[in-house]
Amino acid sequence: MNSSGIVVRDNLKTAVLKNVITVTLCIAINYINATLVYTFIRHEIFKMTSRYVLYIHLVLNDMSLLTVLTLVQVLSYIMYSLNVWLCIVLLFIASIANVNNPLTLAVMAFECYIAVCFPLRHAQICTVRRTCIVISLVWFISVLGFLPDLFVALATEHLGFFNSRVFCLRQSIFRSPVLIKKDTIFKAVLLVTVCIILIYTYFKILFTAKSASADAKKARNTVLLHSFQLILSMLTYLYNPVSMGLVYFFPRSAVDIFFTVAITVNVMPRLVSPLVYGIRDKEFRKYLKRYFRCQR
């Protein structure tokens, strides 16, 4: 089903192929991310560092979002429609994780900025306790972005609607035009805020890195990777306009376009997170090699 509400069904062979691709990617990416989480849990050195706490929070959000999106796709092919209440639960998880990601990236970039520009005060400012408070604030903002939709739906929709079955899309549940405008404004403010933080921290680190150690240059590259992650994450918000624009030029390939764009904007960004710390970070890399080789 596309964003305009037109139902388009794949044949059996195509449906099986698409679900195999999506499920395989989901399992592979979640396996890598689960190894990162396991590494974090097993070693106290990571739990005592705010940078790693933020990173694992990002990884857990990636896992949640990818799992929910894959589950919704598979269920849409098997059952087609879902109960409204179940769809709301899935949308809640996906929405929270989708907003958490860019906000967490912004916080991680700010942590890099403090580490490079204020190295002597970094340990005092970026404590694990304060990091947990910031993560709680991120969750509060994310929940605050979803609750108005739910309250408006409860106030405007009849009770029988929540016991009915729909194709699980946000616009199928939250149908008020006001909510569409609210969602657009919320995403725009979020995007602008996070972009300003990333640009500010990058240039601050850039100027410091010119006459500083290799750690500053590494932090600069890390912020660049965070910016790349942000761009990929924000592509989720461009799913509908990009898809509809491509369908306008290639109407006969509508089904394939929607699937390809969905994989690009929802699945591929989840591949970037393991690369930032799983491969670039020396501490993580040291332990990951052992676990992937099944060594103690």
Give the number of domains in the chain. 1
- 3 in a structural domain: no
CB neighbour burial string for 243-281, b if at least 16 within 10 angstroms, e if fewer:
bbebbeeeeeebbebbbebbbebbbebbbbbbebbbeeb
Closest CA to 131 of 46, 205, 222, 17: 46
6 within a domain of the structure (yes/no): no
The DSSP call for residue 178 is H
Per-residue pLDDT, averaged over 184-213, amounts to 79
- CATH code, domain carrying 190: 1.20.1070.10
Residue 5 belongs to some domain of the structure:
no
Q: Which of 263, 256, 68, 82 is nearest to 172 (CA)?
A: 82
Question: How high is the pLDDT of residue 3?
Answer: 43
Instruction: Evaluate whether residue 7 is within a structural domain.
Output: no
| 133 vs 112, higher pLDDT | 133
Q: What are phi and psi of 26, to 5 degrees?
A: -60, -45
Domain around 67: 12-292
- Please indicate whether residue 159 or residue 273 has the higher confidence score (pLDDT): 159
Global pTM value: 0.83
Give pLDDT, residue 6.
47
Q: Averaging pLDDT over each range in 54-68, 73-87, 162-176, 263-277, which range is the top one?
A: 54-68
Question: Residue 293 pLDDT more than 80?
Answer: no
Residue 4 lies in a domain: no
